[in-house]
Chain A
C-alpha cells in the first residue's frame, strides 16, 4: 500500500526551496550580473559596462592593499590558530601524566575545554566592544594596564594598538585567534578521541617520547581534520568584515588608520553603501568569491593525502 508520495514531497519541499531561491541563490547570482554594470545602488537605472569594473579594480591601490591584508590573514591566521589549538588539544587528550603507562589528558581537561570554547559563542558585536576596551590606548586599557604592570612598556608612551598603523591589523588578528582557538581545540579533540589508545600505548612501550608520539601518530591521523580547519579559517580570513568594520578606525566600515587594516569586505561595503558604486562593489564580491573558491579547492588538493583507516 503506497500513500500518494509526490504531493507530500512537493508539499514539504516547496516552501524551503522558494525561500532559499529568492533570498539566497538569486542574490548571489545577481551579484554576478550587477558586477558588469555601472549601477549606483540608489536608482534602478544602470548601464552594461562589460568588464570595466574589473579592469578598474586591478588598478585600485586601496583594493590591492586590502587584498594583501586578506592574503596576510589567510596565511597567518590558520597557522597561528591551528598550531595553538593542536598543541592544546594534544595536551588535553594525551598530554597527561601517564601513571600506569596509559594515555590520558591532563587533569581538568574538561574544565579547560569549557573555558577555551566560550569565546566561540560570543557574538562579534561583543568581541568588538570588548576588545576596543582591551586595546584602549591609555592606561585604562586592559592590555596596556597589564603590560605597564609587568614593566614591559613605558607608562608615558603606551602602545597605540588599533590607532597604530603597524599594529591595527595584528590587533584584529589577535581577536580572531583568541576567539577561534577554542573551537578548533574541540574539533581536534573530537578527532583525537577517535584515535585508538593502543596505538599510543604501543609507541610508549617502544620508548617513544610524548612529543614524538604527537608528530608520528597524532598529526598524521588528524590530517583530514586539520585540512577542514584550514578551509574554515581561510574563509574566516577572507571575511573578517564584522571585526574590522566595527573595531578599527575610519568613518565608514573602519579599515583605518589610513587603510592599514583595510580588508576586501570592508572596502566592498564602503563602495556599495557610502560611495554609491554598487556595480563596482559587486565586481569585488565576484573577485572575492573566486579567490575563496580557488583557495579552498587548491588547499584541499595540495594537502590531500591517503586516508588512513583505523
Chain B
C-alpha cells in the first residue's frame, strides 16, 4: 500500500499549442498519418459528447413541453416557455425532499469528515498496539456491496429506534449515522494516506510549545490537510447526495401519521412511479431538472477537485 504517494492527481487544463508555422519534412509525414486519425477521433469524441449532453438537454426541454407533446414525438419543441411545471413539481414535494436531503447531508457530511479524519489521524500518526488491525478493519468495509448488509441493518436501525425514536427508521439522525458509518472506510482510507504524507516537524513544534494532542489536531493538522479534506468532502457530498439504496430501505414512513422524510433521490423515483405523475411528464422532467441543478453547479465549480478526488482514491 503506498502511503506517501502523490495525492494530487492533477488533471491539467487543455493545452492548446498553436500549430507552428514551420514543419520539418520528417514530422510532416507523421502529422499526415495522424490527420485521418484526428478527424476520426474528433468524430468519436464529439459523438460521445452529444450522447451525454443530448438526453440531459432533452429532459430540460421536456419540462417546458406539454404532456401531449412529450408523448407525441421526441422532437417536439416547447410551445411556450413557462415555468408552471417547475412550480408544480416544487410544490408537489420536490421542495420538501430537497429540504430533507439538505438536513441529512449537513449532518452526515460534517460528521463523516470529523469522525473520519479523527480516526485516520490517530491511525496514521500514533503508534499503538492494534493500530494496523483497526486500519484494515476500516478499509475492508469498502470492499463489500452495501446491499449484503441491508437486511440486518434494517433491523439494527429499527432496534435503535426503540432506544430513542430520534435514531430509528424514518429518522434524520438514524440515516445520518448510517451514512457516516458507510462513508467511514473510504474517508479513513483516503485521509490516512494524506496525514501520512504531511511533514511531522510542524506538529512536533506545536507539541514542544505545550499544545495538547487534541488542539494540535484541530489547529495544526486539520488546516494542513485542507486540500485532502476538500477532495474527500466533495466525494462524500456527491456520494451521499446520490445515495438511493440506504434511504429507500431506512426512510420509509412507518405508519400513517409518520412524517415523510424521503430524500430527493427517493422522492424522484416515487414521483416517477406514482400515478399522479404518469400523466404529468413535464412535472417529472422539471423535478429532474431541479434535482440535477445543484449537482451541476457543484460539479462545474469544483470539477478539477471532483475528478482528482474521485480518481486519486481509486488509483491507490
B182's partner among A23, A118, A123 (CB-CB below 8 A) is A23
Cβ of B288: which chain A residues have Cβ within 8 Å of it?
126, 129-130
CB of A256 within 8 Å of the partner chain: no
Cβ of A122: which chain B residues have Cβ within 8 Å of it?
242, 292, 295
CB of B307 within 8 Å of the partner chain: yes
Cβ of B153: which chain A residues have Cβ within 8 Å of it?
23, 27
CB of B205 within 8 Å of the partner chain: no
Whose C-beta in chain A lies nearest to the C-beta of B55? A134
**Is the Cβ of B55 less than 8 Å from the Cβ of A130?**
yes
Chain A interface (Cβ < 8 Å from any Cβ of B): 1, 3, 5-6, 8-9, 11-13, 15-17, 19-20, 22-28, 30-31, 34, 41, 84, 87-88, 91-92, 95-102, 104-126, 128-134, 136, 138-142, 144-146, 149, 178, 181-183, 186-187, 189-191, 193, 204, 209-211, 225, 228-229, 232, 235, 238-239, 241-242, 246, 265, 268-269, 272, 278, 281-282, 285-286, 288-289, 292-293, 296
**Is the Cβ of B118 less than 8 Å from the Cβ of A16?**
yes
Inter-chain CB contacts under 8 Å: number: 304
Which stretch (B46-54, B192-200, B225-233) binds chain A? B46-54
CB of B268 within 8 Å of the partner chain: yes
B15's partner among A104, A131, A268 (CB-CB below 8 A) is A104
What is the CB-to-nearest-CB distance from B132 to chain A, in angstroms, rounded to a whole number?
14
Cβ of B122: which chain A residues have Cβ within 8 Å of it?
8-9, 12-13
CB-contacts of B96-129 with A (<8 A): 115-116, 118-119, 121-123, 126, 128
Instruction: State in angstroms the CA–CA spacing of A6 and B126 once bound together.
Output: 10
Cβ of A124: which chain B residues have Cβ within 8 Å of it?
242, 244, 265
**Is the Cβ of B213 less than 8 Å from the Cβ of A105?**
no
A31's partner among B152, B178, B188, B307 (CB-CB below 8 A) is B152
Known contacts A142-B74, A211-B37, then 5 further A-B pairs from the complex at CB < 8 Å, ordered by chain A residue: A8-B214, A12-B122, A23-B181, A24-B184, A191-B315
Cβ of B177: which chain A residues have Cβ within 8 Å of it?
19, 23
**Is the Cβ of B75 less than 8 Å from the Cβ of A149?**
yes
**Is the Cβ of A210 less than 8 Å from the Cβ of B212?**
no
Cβ of A114: which chain B residues have Cβ within 8 Å of it?
300, 303
A128 with B269, Cβ < 8 A, contacts A24-B182, A88-B45, A123-B241 known: yes
**Is the Cβ of B213 less than 8 Å from the Cβ of A232?**
no
**Is the Cβ of B62 less than 8 Å from the Cβ of A3?**
no
**Is the Cβ of B156 less than 8 Å from the Cβ of A26?**
yes
**Is the Cβ of A97 less than 8 Å from the Cβ of B45?**
no
What is the CB-to-nearest-CB distance from B258 to chain A, in angstroms, rounded to a whole number?
18
**Is the Cβ of A108 less than 8 Å from the Cβ of B55?**
no
Cβ of B307: which chain A residues have Cβ within 8 Å of it?
113, 117, 186
**Is the Cβ of B134 less than 8 Å from the Cβ of A97?**
no
Instruction: State in angstroms the CA–CA spacing of A132 and B70 once bound together.
Output: 13
What is the CB-to-nearest-CB distance from A117 to chain B, in angstroms, rounded to a whole number?
6
What is the CB-to-nearest-CB distance from B301 to chain A, in angstroms, rounded to a whole number?
12
**Is the Cβ of B147 less than 8 Å from the Cβ of A265?**
yes
Cβ of A30: which chain B residues have Cβ within 8 Å of it?
149, 151-152
**Is the Cβ of B72 less than 8 Å from the Cβ of A139?**
yes
**Is the Cβ of A183 less than 8 Å from the Cβ of B310?**
yes
CB-contacts of B27-46 with A (<8 A): 27, 30-31, 33-35, 37-38, 41-42, 44-45
Instruction: State in angstroms the CA–CA spacing of A286 and B144 once bound together.
Output: 11
Instruction: State in angstroms the CA–CA spacing of A125 and B269 once bound together.
Output: 6
Cβ of A119: which chain B residues have Cβ within 8 Å of it?
52
What is the CB-to-nearest-CB distance from A257 to chain B, in angstroms, rounded to a whole number?
17
Cβ of A1: which chain B residues have Cβ within 8 Å of it?
207-208, 210
Cβ of B126: which chain A residues have Cβ within 8 Å of it?
5, 9
Cβ of B147: which chain A residues have Cβ within 8 Å of it?
239, 241, 265, 268-269, 285
Instruction: State in angstroms the CA–CA spacing of A105 and B26 once bound together.
Output: 20
Chain B CB within 10 A, most for which of A117, A131, A181: A117
A3's partner among B45, B207, B265, B284 (CB-CB below 8 A) is B207
**Is the Cβ of A242 less than 8 Å from the Cβ of B244?**
yes
**Is the Cβ of B315 less than 8 Å from the Cβ of A228?**
yes
Instruction: State in angstroms the CA–CA spacing of A296 and B138 once bound together.
Output: 19
Cβ of A136: which chain B residues have Cβ within 8 Å of it?
74
**Is the Cβ of A189 less than 8 Å from the Cβ of B53?**
no
- Could you list some 12 contacts between A and B, CB below 8 A? A3-B213, A13-B118, A28-B144, A28-B149, A91-B44, A107-B14, A109-B14, A114-B303, A129-B288, A131-B55, A190-B11, A211-B37
CB of B58 within 8 Å of the partner chain: yes
Instruction: State in angstroms the CA–CA spacing of A242 and B245 once bound together.
Output: 7
